[in-house]
Structures are given as C-alpha cells and as structure tokens.
Amino acid sequence: MTDITAVDAWEVLDSRGNPTVRVRVDAGDATGQFTVPAGASTGAHEAVERRDGGDRYGGRGVREACAAVRDDLAPVVVGWSVTDQVGVDEALVDCDGTENLSTLGANAVLGVSGAVAHAAADATDRPLYDVLAPDSGPGAMPMPMINVLSGGLHAAADLPIQDFLAVPVGADTYPEALETVWEVRRAAGARIGSGEHPPPVADEGGFIPPVADADAAFELLVDAIRDAGYDPGREVAIAVDVAATHFYDADRDRYDLAGETLDRAAMIDRVVEWVDAYPVRSVEDPLAEDDWTGWERLADRIGDRVQLLGDDLLATNAGRLDRAVDAGAANAALIKPNQAGTITRTRRVVDAAQAADWAPVVSARSGETCDATIADLAVGLDAGQIKIGSLARSERLAKYNRLLGIDRAYDGDFAGCDALAPW
C-alpha cells in the first residue's frame, strides 16, 4: 500500500478566466493532480463551491478553498492509503460536516478527491479509467453529444435555449463519431458565418446563432446535418439542453421563453412539439429544477421515445435521483462530479442510475480546464455517453483527445446509439 504523504492546492484560471482550485496529492514517488471545473448554469441543489468574495477577481477568488485543502483536508488524508478512494472520500465529507460541502467548499473537497484518484493511477501504474472502474473492468467508449449551437447563460445571445447538440447515432466508432460531428459543425458555421469570418462561439465552443427562436435554431441544425451529407435522425440526431430553470419565474409559476409567457402545460406542449417536428433524440432540463409535476407529465408523453435527461433536476445527487426514479420523472441522469463533490459520490449516482435502467451521461461544465478526468470516468464507469462541449477550445479538445488516446490503447467497444435512453 502507498500512503498519501503530501497535499497542496493553489489557484489557477478556468476557461472563462475565473479562478478555480488545482490540487496535487503525493504518495511516495507517485503523484496526482486534479483541477476543479465550475458551472455558469448552476442548479440550486448542487454541492456548494467556495468563493472568497470581496473585490479580488470580482469576488470569485478561491484562496480560501485552497487554504481549506492545505489546512483542513490535508491533515485528514495524509497517511491514508492512496488506493482507498472510498475511505478517503468519506473522510473528506466527514471533515466538512455538511451534506452539500458548504463548510470547506465542494471545490476544495473534490479537488482532493480527484487528485487522489490520479495519484492512485500513478502509484499502481494503471490508466485512470481502469482505476475508476469496478471489479468487472472498464466499459465502452462513450457516445458523444456535441455542442453545435449555443444560447442561454452560455452565450451573449437572444436565444434562451442553452445548447443544440449533434448526436452521431449512425457512427460505428468513437473516431467516426467525432469526424461526423466535425462535418456538421463546419456546415453550421458556413451557414452562420460570413466569408472568411467564422461566427462567434459561446462558453463551450458552440456557435452563437443569429436567431432568438428555438424553431429557427432547430431548422438551422437540421439544414447543417443535411449540408454535411447526413440523414437527420437516422445518421445524426439532435439533443437539446433547454436549461428551463433559468427562464422560469417561480413567483408567477411561468416560463418566459423568448418573449412568450408559458404556463406549465404550454411549456410541456412546446417541448412535445419540438420532439414531434425535429429529429430530437435527447431533451435535457426541459422544465425547472423543482417542477416535479411538470417533469412527470412530460415523461408520460415523451419518455418512451426520447431520452429525458435531468441535470438541474437531479444535480448528481443520490437522493434526488431516487425521487425521480420513483416518480418516473425522467429516464437519464447527467453526471457532473463537481455537483456531487467527490469521486465516490459520483460513482454511486452512476451505479444507481444504471441499476434503475436509466442512462448516465457524464458531463463537463461551462467553466472547464484542460483536465481530462471525465473522459476516463465515462469509460471506467461504462456511462455510455459523454457531453463535453463543442469541437473547439483547448479545454474541450483535451477531453475529446484523451478519449482518442483511450480508444487507441483500449480494446473496448463503442457504446453507440444504444447508450441513449429509453433502453
């Protein structure tokens, strides 16, 4: 056994230029490093990251979270076996003392948890995806759902819907999947751009379309799929991240969608209309994070034919997932490690989703770094799907490229379109 000998943390900048936490864990000659991402469309039920406040970096500094790693968490884990991920993670949570990790900060706790996993891989001379896998071993290469058009909180645009993504359902391998969507993205850029000037991109690398209407964005993406030479729906399907919480007015119990005011029934009807009219295969967060009644009603209408994916609804939280499974409110769970706060909590939510015959989708955040841990996580836990962002910006490409490296070194299958719910 190799015990943890040192833990350090310092402040670095993420893909939006905001501070975030980077942690290094040493275990003898082995070392591991992990950088914590941050979200823009942050749900109310996520584990709570710690920010400094004040004037520095507009209040978004993380020096206090880094100090919590060094002063509070390091003494807890030094001397612990670096391969005991569960034990280390439980000790970290106990040290914080809250369910949502608000005392020390989820960014501090996850930073240590992720760095321990990397150090364990180094100490055992195994790839990270193998270290993260259960005893049965790693799973398949995941099907990517790739951002092409962006609005909402990810873009300075009039389009309220957050992301329109391409899903290469006709691809037989992971490299083919990337190539397919690259062609679709290029075709979309040609439709939006002007001559030699490419269109602007949002936080996750998706193009910002010059439209405010969701139907216009759907039509643009369908046209781009055709322009690229693919059959919409059969070879390339569409996924949409509505992120409805961010245009929901809780005081009026209404959705304000691009100048329209919709009640719950009308919002449900609108989502069903999109699914009927376009080759939509996955719908994420079509209703607000606590609109349980609406989610259940929508699931009754479309849950048997498309993937109904909960992000803000579930927040990678085991308790909320259990409630959603019992209610039949969705059939897929977005998995974000920084919503859960530790690697172990993340793994348990994936396990619970799979046990319920729900599809897990490992996801990046809008504020990312070149840390590629989620690529290994998706393969190690056999999640079957991954949502990283667009085929642009180094923090996105680091993860896509890590998966290309895994695909070259590992003889696992490609999950393909069968990974999407409903199974």
Q: Which residue ranges make up the annotated binding site for Mg(2+)?
A: 241, 284, 311
How far apart are the two ends of the chain, measured CA to CA in Å? 41
- CA–chain centroid gap for 50, Å, is 20
What is each CA distance from 221 to 6, 186, 216, in whole angstroms?
Answer: 49, 11, 9
The answer to whether 368 is a known catalytic residue is: no
Which parts are annotated binding residues for (2R)-2-phosphoglycerate? 162, 336, 365-366, 387
Enumerate the known binding-site residues.
Answer: 162, 241, 284, 311, 336, 365-366, 387
330 neighbors 361 (Cβ within 8 angstroms): no
Question: What 3-state class would DSSP assign to 386?
Answer: strand
Tokens (6 digits) for 215: 């139907």
From the list 46, 183, 204, 289, the catalytic residue is 204
Per-residue tokens: 327 = 């209610």
Tell me whether residue 399 is one of the annotated catalytic residues.
Answer: no
In this structure, are residues 344 and 113 in contact, taking their beta carbons and an 8 Å threshold? Answer: yes
Give which of 360, 357, 338, 365 is closest to 349, Cα–Cα. 360
Q: How many CB atoms lie within 10 A of CB 259?
A: 9
Q: The tokens of 181 are what?
A: 């969507």
Q: Which of 49, 289, 336, 399 is catalytic?
A: 336
β-strand partners of 3:
81
Enzyme catalytic residues: 204, 336
